[in-house]
Structure formats: structure tokens, C-alpha cells
Structure 1
Amino acid sequence: MMTELKSVGEVKLVGFRVVCAGDEYVQEIPKAAVRLQERKGEIQHALQPDQQIGAFIVEESSPEEDGYWIGLQVFDYGDIPTDMTTLTIPANTYGTILHQGTNHDIRQSYEQLHQWIRENGYTRSTKSWNLEIYQKGNQPGDPSDVRVELYDAILPQGEE
């Protein structure tokens, strides 16, 4: 699997926030993805209406950061549907890897990515936003065939 470093500018998301017990995310995130797919037409200014993006922080420092966001990237916030939320993620550098397979196997892809980050002398930023960018052909809500590019935040060189 190809692993590489990517810099990403600020990302603005509109969508749903999922907050549940840790072992329930594997069921709840696909449900939110299906809801987002059904309602994508309500989101204004979407850059790519068919590309869902997930976001989370490994070690959140406040209740406001707890959970998993799934949304569409927008170039500007328009009228936000009442039950949806917004999230602005600052620019960052990420180690990335493409995961293809079941959502239960995603941990193995993350382990490969974390190993690559260490082997290349980078340090993970566990207090920054990580991204999961779902690929074309991904069927929201189908946990057996997930195609997602995983973006794990990297600390700037020299920071610990």
C-alpha cells in the first residue's frame, strides 16, 4: 500500500457529528454516512457532493472535540440544515494510506500508517484533527467494502 506525506489546507465540513461508546462507532458511522448521502442536496457550497470526509481527534482535550464528524467539504458555510453541524479543520500535514476492505480491518491500515510515520522520523499529532476521505465508488453504509484514504496528523519537525 502506498504511504506518503500530504499537506492539506483548511477544510470546512458540513454534516453530522457521531458521539457514542467507543465500540459503537463501527455501527454508527455507516448509519451517519447513509443519512449524509440521502441529504447531501441540502448542503450548500459543496466542493465534491459525492465525497464524504470523516474527522476525529485521537486524544480530544474537551467534550466539544469528542466524537466523529462525517460531512461534505464546502468552500463556504451557507444555510446549515438544523440538525447538521459545521467543523473547520486547520491546515496540517498528514501521513496517508489508502484502506480498501472491511471497516473492521481499518485498524490494520492505521497500524501500517503509524509504523511508516515512525520509520520516516515523523511524530503523530494525537491532539490534531485526522481525516478519512472516502473514495469514489465507496458505498456509504456498506461496512464490507470500504475505500477510504486515511490522513493521520503529523507534528511539525522538531515538535514533540
Structure 2
Amino acid sequence: MRTGADEAAAPKYSHVERERRFLVERALLPALPPAHVLIEDRYITATRVRLRRMTDSASGEIAYKLAKKYEADDPLARAMVNAYLTAAEYEVFAALPAALIVKRRHALPMGGAEFAVDVFSQRLEGLVLAEIEAGDADALAAIPIPPWAAREVNHDARYQGGALAALDRAAAALLIAAR
């Protein structure tokens, strides 16, 4: 029988998400396409679980999912599990105490790849991050740093979703100003 410690060490039903993240220099960013996905992330208090509501700006279609990213020695490759939910299931989890992050995600093609550019709002207004995924470590490493990136932030835990969700307005303003 698997235990909680077993699951934390090697999650049985997870997949490895390989991604790089960049802090974006907004003045250098090309015009973003108007189509986007509005993402509302609820980081459930005292857990590593994220509840996500995604609304497509073009179709109005809404999707819900519950996710957990596991700790990893390599921030470029982390085990993750996702479960898609119904609206009713989402409402059950949404009743739990959580910290909210709201952002618009735009797809931005560059050099044969597609970056996801997240434009944050509310207390994180002014923060723009980009991420890109690849199927393996070599392909991920081969992706050039975009010219509009201020710097790569994969190894800076302050730019992980859970850390951003924990910031109050004053701490968020300091992080955004520090660039």
C-alpha cells in the first residue's frame, strides 16, 4: 500500500511539466493578440493545491481544474497532477479558504515556439511573466531567451504561483518594482 510519504516522493499519476519562466520587460514586449484566456487561480490555504477557472475570451467557454505541483530539485522539471472538474465540483472547492491570483494569458509565437504571456491584475498589476514548455530537457534548453525578457526566473521561488498568491499588495508592489 502506498503512503502519503510515497506519494510525495514519487506521485503515481503525475506527469512531468518542463517549463522555463521569464520576467517580461513590458516596454519591449510586442503587441499581444487580443484573444486570451482569463485565469483565476485559487491557491488553497495550507496546501500545494491550486484551483483554476479558465475563461476563453473568444468563445466564452469556461474550464475548471484542480492541480498540484510537487517539490523538485530541478525547477525546470516538476511532477504535476491535474483533474478537470465540473462547475458544481469547482464550487465545492472554491468554498475553501484560498489566495486568489487573476491574470490574462496570451499566446505569443516566437521562432517556431509559443510563449504563454501572463499579464497579472489586481494586487499584482504591472507584473508580466512568460513561460514556455517543451517535451524534454534538451528541447527546453534549446529555446532562446526572448528579446523582451528582463531575466529568467526559474530558480527564483518568488515568481512561483503559490509565492505570488501569498503576497499582500505592499509586498507585491515591492517585487514588481524590484525587477
Provide the TM-score with structure 2 as the length reference.
0.26
- Where relative contact order (Cα < 8 A, 6+ residues apart) is larger, the structure is 1
Provide the TM-score with structure 1 as the length reference.
0.28
Higher strand share: 2
Indicate the structure (1 or 2) with the bigger Cα radius of gyration: 2
